[in-house]
Structure formats: C-alpha cells, structure tokens
Chains A and B, each alone.
Chain A
C-alpha cells in the first residue's frame, strides 16, 4: 500500500476523488490517501485595493503544502496550475493531466442589484480569488461582453462562502460562486448573470510516477462511472462537505441542486493545442511571463504513460 498525501479538495473541484476515497476505490488500487488541510491559516479577506494578481502568492492555498513538501499532489484549476507550476520551488512539481470534474461556476449579483446582464458589470467591482479557477473564468466570461479596460476585478478570498457574504453585504457588485453556493444564492434570490464550466489539472511531485498515477486514475475512473450512473445520489456530497461548518448549507437538500451542473469525465492528458492556447491567453493577462515553452508545465512522461496504460 502506497500512501499519497493530497491537499484537501471540495466536491465542486474534486468530487470523483472524494467518492473514490469514500467508496474504497483507492484502497482497492493499493493507494492510501491522506488528506492534508491546505486552507488552515489562509487569509480570507476582500481587498478592494488589490486589482490584479501581481505580487500575490499563487500558492496561498492550492499548492501551499505541496511547496512545503507536505503533500505529494494537488488538484486545482488548469489556469492557476500553469502559474503555480511555473513558480514551483519543488522542482519536480509538474502537471500530470486533467482531473475528472469539469467545474461549474457563475457570476452572481444580489437580488437588489441593478445588474442583469454581464455588459452591465462595466466598471463595477467584481470580486475574484486571484489564481483560483473562478478568477480566470470571470475574465473569460467578462471579456466576451466588455473591453478589458472596463473589467474591474478585485481580490476576494478563495472559498465561495466568503465571496457570497461579501457580495451580499454590498462590498462587491458581483462575484463568482461554485456549488453548492451558486444554488444557495439562487435560492436566496440572487441572480446568476453568466455561467460556464472549466477544467482543472493535477500537479504532482516525482513521488507520483506513471504507475502510481495510473492506479490513482483507475480508481477515479471507477468513481466517474459510478457518479455518471447515478448523479442524483452523489449530489449529497455538495451538502455534506459544507454543512457542519455552514448551517445555511445544511438547510439545502439535494433537490436544490441541479444534477446537470455536475460533469465528471475520465481523467485525461491536456491536449497540446489547448495547452498552447491556454498558456497564450494567460500571458495576455500579464501572467506566466517566465514560461517560454508551455510544455515545461507538464510532466509528459507521467501524463502520457499513466493515461495510455489506464486505457
């Protein structure tokens, strides 16, 4: 039995891994998962004066313990992981492929907001967690509706609960939310002005070789099969993960969530063309400036070896 230390994850970004763990699928592959808490001590404040990720630490939560040598692997949004891998101090930290869940997220405003469409967010303060998936997603969504100079983002904490509270208090005109907070916001009368899905990837140290990642992915694939066979059953994860810390989530039932928002697929390599386009787009926003070749961001040996063998 090999022990893999993973940074902890939430259903919106790691449902399949949580199911694989709970249902003994990793153990069946000879992997024991130890979860380590990446969010302990993370600052959870809105900073309306911070308007870009410049000077912020991309490893503030995802990758934090990995960079301290206390975790072997973590999963996070693909865009953010490009930046984290560029800045890794753990020299072998590279992406090894895409995670199973394709995350659903939306841009949300308060019930009394005068904003109904993304265009109406021109110049208005949108809170995003820099280097986390919904930061990049907000940019993608908004730049379809606004010139870049009218997109006004500021730093908001990772974790939808805190962003939801800041939006409801009027500190932010809009923010990005993932499930179950998106559904909670809708239930409470907020409006979701735009939504989209995004990919994430796994970043691993050299402890995770092709054979280990192959086993890991076999377990995840079985979890994906189970989730897709009965998505309603697994909606409960989105409530259970948060309800002890957040009584309001405890008031939700699986009926408040929408099964179609849960999209899980077999883990797979990052397609080359998508990798190149993604890196180019991130650079267009002033990030990833120290990466000349986007292929440097992926451990091709493990990615190709593990995914080919998992077929």
Chain B
C-alpha cells in the first residue's frame, strides 16, 4: 500500500477525492490517503489595506504543508496553482485538472443597493488573494467594468469567514462557494453573478505516473458514482461544516442545488487553455517570472497518468 499525504480539501473543491477516500476507492487502487491540515494557523482576518496580491504569500494555505515537505500533493484553483508552481521550492508541478469544476458566486447583503455587477464599480470586494475566487472575481467583473474600477481588499480563504465579514459590512460583496453560497441565499443575500472554475493538482516527484494513474482511477470511479446519483452526495457539503457552523447544520440538502455540483474525469490541462490562462494571469501582474505555461506542468506525468487511467 502506497501512502500519499494530501493537504486537506473541502467538498466544493475536492468532492470526488473525499468520496473516493470514504468509499475505499483509493485503498482499492493500493493507495492509503493521509490528510494533512493545511488550515492550522492560517490568518482569517480581513485586511482592507491589502488591495492586491503583491507581497501576499501564495502558500498561505494551499501548498503550505507541501512546501514544508509535509504533503505530497494538493489541489487548488488552476490560476493560483500557476503562481504557486512558479514560486515552489519543492519542485512541485501541476499534473492535470482535478475532478470538480467549482461553482462560485459574487454575493451582496440583503440591504445592499447593488443588484448588478456593473453597480460594484469602485466598491470594496473581499477576495482571498491567490485562491480561486480571487481570480474568478476578476474574470466576472472585468466584463462589466474597466479594470481600474475593480476594487479588491484582502479577505480570508474559507467562505464562512468571507460571508461573516460581508454580513458585518466589511465590504460590499464577496465570492462564496458551496454550501455558503446557498446559505447566503437562504439568509436573503443576493447573488450578483456566478460562474465555474477549474482546479489542478500539484505534486512532488513522489507522485509518479503510475501513482497518479492509480489515484485518478479511484477519482474517476468516484466521479461516476457522483454523477449517477448526485443527490446522494449533496450531504457532503453539509457534513463537512456542520460541526463547526450551526448555520450549516441548520441546512438540508434541499437548500443546495445539484446543478452546481459538476464533476468530470480528471484530465490534462489543454495546452491552448494553459497558454491563455497564463497570459491572462500575467495581464494582472502575476506570474511575471514564468516564460512558458508548459514550465508549470509535469508533462510526463500528466500525459502518462491520464493515458494510463483510461
């Protein structure tokens, strides 16, 4: 049995992996998963004076233990992982896209005067720099306003913290993932715009082609099971948080939307999309030390493992 240490993940970003683990699919492939808590000690404050990712550590949570040599692999949003891989000290490279395509939405309080994305012009928006919803906010808003009118402030990772700060009036809007997006709607907050985002896996050289192929076979089986009966897996989104947050405990799966849970077979990052993504990240002043997107991917493992997992 091969042991893989993974940084902890939540259903909105790692449902298939959580299902594969709980249902013994990794074990069946000869992999024993050990989860390492990347969230211990992470700063959860809103910092309104921090208005860009400059100077912010991309390894504040995702990749933190990996960079300390305490995890073999982690999954996070694709944009953030481009930046993390650029800055890695552990030789970490992306191996491909994770299974879940993550839903997220930009929300305002019930009493906000903002109803459309355009109305967020020059208003403070809480964004967790280097996390998926940071980049998604930029994408969602730059179609509705000029870049100079998008005003971000640093907000913590973890939708719960961003939601609480939204309700407290720390900023006008923030981006939430499930189950907090549904909680916000239940509590009268308004969705302004929403979309989906891809994520990838970053691994050390401990994860070779054979190991990643086995890992992906287990994940693919989890994807198949989830897609065959999505309603049976919605409770993951509640169970994961209910002990820590009574508001989530008060929700039922009927409060969630199955259509927001999209899982697909893990797959290589298409070259064209990798190039376009890298170019877009650079246009926002990040990823400036990377010449080619291909440098950010372990092509050998990515191609070999995905082909073998077919």
Contacts and interface: CB of A to CB of B under 8 A. Distances in A.
B119 interface: yes
Interface stretch (A140-148, A217-225, A240-248): A140-148
B193 A197 contact: yes
Contact of B143 (A144, A193, A195, A265): A144
A198 B116 contact: yes
Interface string A136-166: 0001111111000000000000000000000
Interface residues of A, number: 32
A116 B144 contact: no
B140 interface: yes
Main SS of chain A's interface residues? mixed
B115 to A, nearest CB: 5
Interface stretch (A6-14, A20-28, A59-67, A117-125): A117-125
Interface residues of B, number: 33
B276 A122 contact: yes
A158 B276 CA distance: 33
B115 A191 contact: no
B143 A140 contact: yes
Contact of A194 (B121, B142, B193, B198): B193
B273 A120 contact: yes
B262 A116 contact: yes
Query: Most A CB atoms within 10 A — which of B117, B143, B193, B277?
Result: B143
B126 to A, nearest CB: 18
Contacts of A292: none
A117 B101 contact: yes
A142 B262 contact: no
Contact of A117 (B144, B190, B195): B195
A196 interface: yes
Contacts of B262: 116, 191
Nearest to A122: B276
A260 B185 contact: yes
B309 interface: no
Nearest to B105: A195
Nearest to B259: A186
Contacts of A261: 191
A140 B193 CA distance: 11
Interface string A190-215: 01111111110000000000000000
B191 A145 contact: no
B303 interface: no
A225 to B, nearest CB: 15
A24 to B, nearest CB: 28
A311 interface: no
Nearest to A104: B191
Nearest to B194: A195
Contact of A144 (B116, B140, B190, B194): B140
B264 interface: yes
B198 A117 contact: yes
B213 to A, nearest CB: 22
B223 interface: no
Contacts of B196: 116-117, 191, 193-194
B86 interface: no
A53 B106 CA distance: 30
A113 B142 CA distance: 25
B153 interface: no
B118 interface: yes
A117 B197 contact: yes
7 contacts: A140-B118, A140-B144, A141-B195, A144-B140, A186-B259, A196-B193, A197-B191
**3 interchain residue pairs of minimum CB distance:** A144-B143, A260-B185, A186-B259
Given A142-B143, A145-B195, 20 more contacts: A102-B116, A116-B101, A118-B139, A139-B143, A140-B143, A141-B143, A141-B193, A144-B140, A193-B196, A195-B105, A195-B195, A196-B116, A196-B140, A196-B194, A197-B116, A199-B115, A199-B116, A263-B190, A277-B121, A278-B118
